[in-house]
Chain A
Amino acid sequence: MNRLFSFFQDRHAGLGSILLLAIVLMVVMPLVFDIYRLNLAGRYLTYAFVALGLVLCWGYGGILSLGQGIFFGIGGYAMAMFLKIEASDPESTSIQTTPGIPDFMDWNRITELPWFWVPFNSLTFTIIAVLVLPAAFAFLIGFAMFKRRVSGVYFAIITQALAVVLTILIIGQQGYTGGINGITDLRTLMGWDIRDDSARYLLYYLNAVLLIGCLLIGRWVLNCKYGRILTALRDKEERVRFSGYDVANFKVFIFCLAAFISGIGGAMFTLQVGFMSPSFIGIVPSIEFVIFAAVGGRLSLVGGVYGALLVSFAKTMFAEAYPQLWQFLIGAVFILVVLVLPYGLASIYGRFGHRMRTPFERWLGDRKARSSASSGGFQEPLQEKRP
């Protein structure tokens, strides 16, 4: 048992902790939950993509984005547009003034599919859009900001403002976007009913596999030299710059990677929940994603996943029973995590796990660490940085 612990808790995300997560997601949860709860868990796991992205760019890169909902939304809307076009075939929309276009367009007296909707007739295009658009958008934002050395608080505020802009645009342009209700009534994917139980199981597993895949990508990125430069960057940006690195490029990359991962989450959300709306883009959801990462542990890749699951399930349970209490509770969680547990639940687990190891294993672990010359090892920062 002790051996297991040391296997699971080494570094930011040992393969062990990812394996454990995979078992929880793919074996334990499907066994324990009925399909309704599993679908709910699947929905929360799509938030975990965003939280994972935030662990990478905020926890390791020091770049706090309060606009991650943008990328979740882009991925989600891209998928929703495809599904909506499929749901709006001329037969099922025959009662509309213009059959064959999405219902909300018809309500807004639009008579033709807008040009930017047309490519979403193709599933291939849609998948490419889900994978490319969020990262491309992040590249534009990141490139403009990081080259101008906008960082820290300014970056957080500007990304938040951008999330507001996107929300207002979507709500304002009702005819093209479905407005505040979003894009709803999504039923089939290439004729396959995504709402029946077998489809839900399949989508849940697809979601879990993709999430594990993203975790592995994140782990790989952190474990190579890039990851160390990223940590260095958060600590002493000037030193990195004057060691010959184009700091802006390093930031742009991790921001794009986070957006890429978030976009996949958004698309999986649409598939599993059957709609997408601006309420997953704006200030509130964007900051909720941050709290998932903070609760789980901003320096733990798997922490973000557990954080998303825990907080979301807690929200569902509490908000149903005591809606008033929930707001107080989540507010208190924000404050407590920042004040008492800045490295989240993962830091408790780390300390706990460490105590569980026998002296022999500690010695073994230390020796192993020494021989591998501490490849990307990460400890909690020794002290709070005070400039």
Chain B
Amino acid sequence: MSGFSTQELLAIFAMQGFAGVSFFSVLLLMALGLAIIYGQMRVINMAHGEFMVIGAYATYLCSITLGALPGMTDYYLFFAIPIAFGSAFLVGYVVEIALIRHLYHRPLDTLLATWGLALIMQQGFRSAFGAREVSVLVPDWLRGSYRPTMMIDIPLNGIAILVLTLLVTLGVWWFLYRSRWGLRVRCTTANRDMSGAVGINTKRVDRVTFALGCGIAGIAGAAFTTISSTGPTSGSLYIVDTFLVVVFGGAGSLVGTIASAFSIAQAQSLMEFFLGSSMAKVLTLLTVIGILLLRPEGLVASKVRR
């Protein structure tokens, strides 16, 4: 780092930091869904990335239909996000009924079955939308950037995604810890048999939780479209990172998931500037694995008496 002055370094850190924010947002949204699903029913959803892609394609469809209407280009995203959520939620709901519910408590088997599902979904996207990547119309108000000083340039879409992510995270927190449904979810996570005994329909809780996790991935897809173009295999690029975020954060901990998504995204984004993207990725992954070996329970974990 000798070639840079302190001021330049600060600017680089600030800019790379904000560049990492978009990555952080998508990663966190993906990880939230995955963490909820894994925490609740120990299902490893390898097709989670494909649910993100569903959201992304839904957003794309909105952009070419709604967005093409006069005067709607600036606002279609507000419709696209709930639609992205809804479509991923719906597919998730169906997948739970058709596949996932047969595999509870066989985590390694869910991993294989959902990988098969991911292959099918990828081919489905390819058949429906073609192998070429598509991109959405980014509304004008997301295109500019905010420049607090001469050297720092923060793209607006990054800020918008961050706001969206924070809202969704808040929503998830409210849902899990403040709503009646969340109480049922937490009950089922803590003790499935007991929850069933006190009258919670655990199967329904599972179904909704799984679908909700997928729906959040759909929102991640909507956010994803504003930073990158979407292809049939876009989701699979995120799946390894997302898993590491969940595991690194300590499965089942909201704070841990946020902290780990943030640190992984920022570490990668900062190192990218100095080492190039592939070495940054290698170093980030190795560091995370290394820390996981020292602390297999993840960043945030409570000691449970068994």
A–B contact at 8 Å CB threshold (below): yes
A→B interface (CB under 8 Å): 64, 66, 144-145, 148-150, 152-154, 156-158, 160-162, 164-165, 168-169, 171-172, 283, 287, 290-291, 294, 324, 327-328, 330-335, 337-339, 342, 384-387
Q: Which residues of A contact B292 (CB under 8 A)?
A: 150, 154, 158
Min CB distance B10 to A, Å, is 28
Q: Are A156 and B247 in contact (CB under 8 A)?
A: no
Nearest CB of A to B180, in Å: 28
In the complex, which of the residues A165, A291, A338 has the most CB atoms of chain B within 10 Å of its own CB atom?
A338
Residues of B within 8 A of A154 (CB): 247, 292, 296
Residues of A within 8 A of B293 (CB): 144-145, 148, 150
The CA of A169 and the CA of B106, in the complex, are separated in Å by 33
- A156–B243 Cα distance when bound, in Å, is 11
Q: Report chain A residues within 8 Å CB of B122.
A: 327
Contact A338 B123, CB 8 Å, known A150-B292, A332-B116 = no
Residue pair A327, B113 in contact (C-beta under 8 Å): no
Complex CA–CA separation, A328 to B102 (angstroms): 21
Hey, which chain A residues are within 8 Å of B111, CB to CB? 64, 66, 153, 156
The answer on a CB contact under 8 Å between A161 and B120 is no
Main secondary structure of the interface of B (DSSP, over half): helix
Chain A residue at smallest Cβ distance from B42: A153
| Known pairs A152-B108, A324-B127, A327-B122; A162 contacts B113 (CB<8 A) | no
Known: A154-B292, A327-B120. A334 touches B113 (CB 8 A): yes
> Per DSSP, are chain A's interface residues mostly helix, strand or loop, or mixed?
helix
Q: Cα distance A119–B21 when bound, in Å?
A: 45
User: A298 → chain B, closest Cβ, in Å?
Assistant: 10
Q: Could you name 15 residue pairs across A and B whose Cβ atoms are closer than 8 Å?
A: A154-B247, A156-B111, A157-B243, A162-B285, A164-B240, A164-B285, A169-B282, A287-B112, A324-B127, A333-B116, A334-B115, A335-B120, A338-B113, A339-B103, A386-B105
User: From B98, which residue of chain A is reached at the shortest CB distance?
Assistant: A335
B residues lining the A interface (CB < 8 Å): 42, 44, 99, 102-103, 105-109, 111-113, 115-120, 122-123, 126-127, 236, 240, 243-244, 247, 276, 278-279, 281-282, 285-286, 288-289, 292-294, 296
**Chain B: minimal CB distance from A146 (Å):** 10
Q: Are A150 and B123 in contact (CB under 8 A)?
A: no
What are the 5 A-B residue pairs with the smallest beta carbon separation, nearest first? Answer: A334-B116, A331-B119, A331-B120, A327-B123, A172-B278
- Whether the Cβ atoms of A165 and B282 lie closer than 8 Å is yes
Chain A residues within 8 Å of B108, by CB: 64, 152-153, 156
A334 touches B119 (CB 8 A): yes
Contact of A153 with B44 in the complex, beta carbons under 8 Å: yes
B282 touches A330 (CB 8 A): no
The contact of A161 among B115, B118, B285, by CB within 8 Å, is: B285
The residue on A at minimum CB distance from B123 is A327
Chain A minimum-CB-distance residue to B289: A158
Q: How far is the CA of A87 from the CA of B296 in the complex (A)?
A: 46
CB proximity of B140 to chain A, nearest CB, Å: 37
Contact A165 B106 (CB under 8 A): no
**Residue on B nearest A144 in the bound complex, by CB:** B293
Considering residues A160, A168, A331, which has the most beta carbons from chain B within 10 angstroms of its beta carbon?
A331
Q: Provide the residues of chain B in CB contact with A148, threshold 8 Å.
A: 293-294, 296
How far is it, in angstroms, between the C-alpha of A283 and the C-alpha of B99 when the chains are bound? 23
Task: Point out the residues of chain B lying under 8 angstroms from A158, CB to CB.
Answer: 247, 289, 292
